[in-house]
Chain A
């Protein structure tokens, strides 16, 4: 039985239990605020995480259909899986790689720094970097990030030796095993990383920070959390005054339920956050909730995510060790001389045996070339190019009425036409990765195209001017005072950082704001 009554209109309802929703739930409940946390996925545990890659993927991933359109190669290469998001308690913090990077000061002033770029809808963040930095530091303490607060770095794996050697030969200065929310020594009641790989299948030792076994159980221990797993929000309702009044959801049996709310926070990863806002259309909000600006779903960003694979003639065994513990920071700078605005991270990346063939290598690869590369699986090294993509108002998540989910609701369509800036950055990043591997002695280098993104961002972005975005500097909807966006959708621009740390920092900041707003009865 739920511990919070469904007619209790005093509860904060958070939809989604990942980096944003899970963190926010803990922050509010520890301050005595009652929270109902709705999560579409099931609750796994360290014991139940599968170590069979395909099984783990099915266990943790949002597998319901979505569609993709636009000139992006993802539409052609991954028509049935345009985005790789989680559906499980803990959300993408269960499958993330633990790379906890900060956005850079100039990145949160992207419009000012990059200027007016043709075909892009850049804005500056409505948050000062100094303030964001304070919350980054809080997030890093909470998540126990390596190389911060005196936490040692993770040790160098075989794979990192190759990555580091190539990067240094190329002249890079800032190359290390990353700012990782993965324990390099036992901390915070969690063990240390045993270098087993399988980070994205759910970390079976709990060395990697995830809301599943940090924020959520701590929120439960306050007695103020009512977590409802396998409960799918399908609509946010509002009253005559336009304010949100509750959330309609399907319970694990598929039966429609209704939870009243004083405040509603949406944290479903940008694709489903957008979809839920659009599905919540009404006579008062005919374009969907919080969408009088027509900005919900627009400006969608997903990073220039693509791989470079180096094939060597000596063994590396890159599956041994932390999946992504290696980064080059030198290319994060904004340097228009390279031919594009913004910057990128080069991140060391390994994939398990089926995944590398299925999702890591180019989708056009087969025959003897595929055979040659796979025959060298033991001797491979990988780089993921994680770069800032530019927002475009036409890159947009919408509802696709032609395809329906099991509840009869239209699925999300993700439309992306890559900005030429993204193509230029991707080419530059992959070329640098290739040079790194060649400097380390690679006998062959293979490059992928854009891969399905987990880094889905900016589709309900923070803006100073309500006509430029969906929410204000605290993630509060411009249109609906008691509605918040609490995931990567709220980021004004994507920066070149993997988004989890930023999402957690913004959730911590939002919790302070919600507490103050509740205290003054502003909401």
Chain B
């Protein structure tokens, strides 16, 4: 993903797609990108196909307060596999065309019904797997989910809250163990 400076060239070339968006004001994702406006070049899929797949990804893994940008990474991953694998391209292209042009603007109920009817197809399974693999693996979404990622570089959580839960009673030592390095060892 990059700032949308390539838009003119893409519009001129016209053949393949471009996804664009603007991060919501105050989005935590703004920390990770140089500009709130973003654009994603598609190497193989058209803009229409990209938009449909973005809507599919949002329907599969809906998080209303999450920007489009991390979902666009899903489209990027799908586009990338379609660019090197003709079978993957055909699968996506046929799947998207089966959903129809109205999918992007349809209500969520309609989108869910449309996907429900293709739930067992290789197209859906493939897009679902890529959605989960890409969306939830992106550091762009860690803050949204409260996930802290790797902690080795910070010394782990031994002295940083691995046992700071207070809404349940403490575990008796016999079922637990001493916290070495925290003065109780």
Instruction: List A residues at the B interface (Cβ < 8 Å).
Output: 51-54, 146, 152-158, 160-162, 164-165, 175-177, 184-185, 192-198, 204-205, 314-317, 319-321, 352-354, 356-358, 364, 366-368, 370-371, 374-375, 377-378, 440
Contacts and interface: CB of A to CB of B under 8 A. Distances in A.
Contacts of B185: 185
Size range of the chain B interface in the assembly: 35 or more
Contacts of A440: 168
Residue with the greatest number of chain B CB neighbours at <10 A, chosen from A192, A197, A198, A205:
A197
Contacts of B133: 54, 354, 358
B158 A195 contact: yes
A204 B128 CA distance: 32
Contacts of B181: 192
B180 interface: yes
Nearest to A56: B150
A198 B175 contact: no
B142 A152 contact: no
B176 A153 contact: yes
B61 A366 contact: yes
A352 B147 CA distance: 8
A164 B142 CA distance: 28
23 contacts: A153-B175, A153-B176, A155-B162, A160-B176, A165-B169, A176-B175, A193-B156, A194-B152, A194-B157, A195-B158, A196-B156, A197-B156, A320-B157, A320-B160, A320-B162, A321-B162, A352-B147, A354-B133, A358-B133, A366-B60, A366-B128, A374-B61, A378-B146
B155 interface: yes
A453 to B, nearest CB: 20
Given A177-B177, A353-B136, A358-B132, A196 B168 contact: no
B137 interface: yes
Contact of A156 (B60, B129, B142, B171): B171
Given A158-B162, A160-B171, A162-B168, A367 B62 contact: yes
Interface in B142-185: 142, 145-153, 155-158, 160-165, 167-171, 174-181, 185
B64 to A, nearest CB: 8
A63 B136 CA distance: 21
Given A198-B150, A357-B132, A375-B63, A158 B164 contact: yes
A485 B142 CA distance: 44
B59 interface: yes
A316 B171 CA distance: 15
A160 B172 CA distance: 12
A158 B165 CA distance: 5
A164 B171 CA distance: 7
Q: Which 9 A-B pairs have the closest CB atoms?
A: A194-B156, A196-B156, A153-B177, A51-B150, A158-B165, A156-B176, A354-B137, A195-B162, A156-B171
A196 B152 contact: yes
B23 interface: no
Contacts of B7: none
B112 interface: yes
B147 A176 contact: no
A426 B169 CA distance: 30
B142 A353 contact: yes
Contact of A368 (B62, B148, B157, B170): B62
B112 A367 contact: yes
Contacts of A165: 168-169
A192 B119 CA distance: 47
Given A156-B163, A370-B60, A195 B171 contact: no
B146 A317 contact: yes
Given A185-B185, A378-B146, A157 B128 contact: no
Nearest to A370: B61
Contacts of B151: 196-198, 320
A153 B136 CA distance: 33
B163 A155 contact: yes
Given A152-B178, A158-B165, A177-B176, A353 B147 contact: yes
